Amino acid sequence: MVSALKNLSDYDESNVPSAEGLSFGIVVSEWNAKVTHALYEGCYDTLIRHGAKEEKIHLLQVPGSFELTVGAKMLADEHKVDAVICLGCVIKGETKHNEYINQAVATGLTSLSMFYSRPFVFGVLTPDTEEQALDRAGGKHGNKGVEAAVTAIRMANLKKAMKGGKPKIGF
């Protein structure tokens, strides 16, 4: 398995376009807060490191991952951000609740992306255990919050480039 071999959050910073001038929304689920707060740290730091300004990053906390979709819409409506990043962690339990929540969020964020023609990034961990989650929230498999931020920056730049009529291959 690839993730057993490498930290997937390692990336070439020089290949990421600038986040300067862009605005972002970050929606964070409070369920499994130890994990989601670590995802948030990784996400926020990455946006700042690539040039985003503190005042252009809007944070919203929601009770659970199921609420990420509506939280994302609220941010998009209120702040007209260039990209929204949704961070959550749904741990598999004895019942199928995880499947319903994950499916609803994935479908909801896809719908929002289509409706707004803007990126709504799926930064939701779907592990079997808390240990697997922590491995991906600053542990041995990196931090998926970092990856979600990079995706948001890339997609927001893609949209900007298309508006300017200058799409290009590569980053």
One-letter amino acid at 37 equals H
Of 20-28, 65-73, 135-143, 153-161: span binding ligand DLZ (CB under 6 A): 65-73
Residue-by-residue DSSP string for 49-103: HTT--GGGEEEEEESSGGGHHHHHHHHHHHH--SEEEEEEE----SSSHHHHHHH
Minimum gap (Å) between residue 27 Cβ and ligand DLZ: 11
Q: Which amino acid is at 18?
A: S
Compute CA 9 distance to the chain's CA centroid, rounded to the nearest angstrom: 13
Is 157 a residue that touches ligand DLZ (CB under 6 A)?
no
User: Is 37 labeled as catalytic in the residue annotation?
Assistant: no
**By CB under 6 A, is residue 107 in contact with ligand DLZ?**
no
- Cβ atoms of 27 and 72 within 8 Å: the answer is yes
- Out of 37, 58, 79, 97, which one is annotated catalytic? 97
Q: Does 64 engage in binding with ligand DLZ (CB under 6 A)? A: yes
As given in the structure block, the two tokens for residue 114 are 């289509």
31 binds ligand DLZ (CB under 6 A): yes
Please report whether residue 104 would count as binding ligand DLZ according to CB under 6 A: no
Which residues lie near ligand DLZ (CB under 6 A)? 29, 31-32, 63-67, 88-91, 93, 97, 101
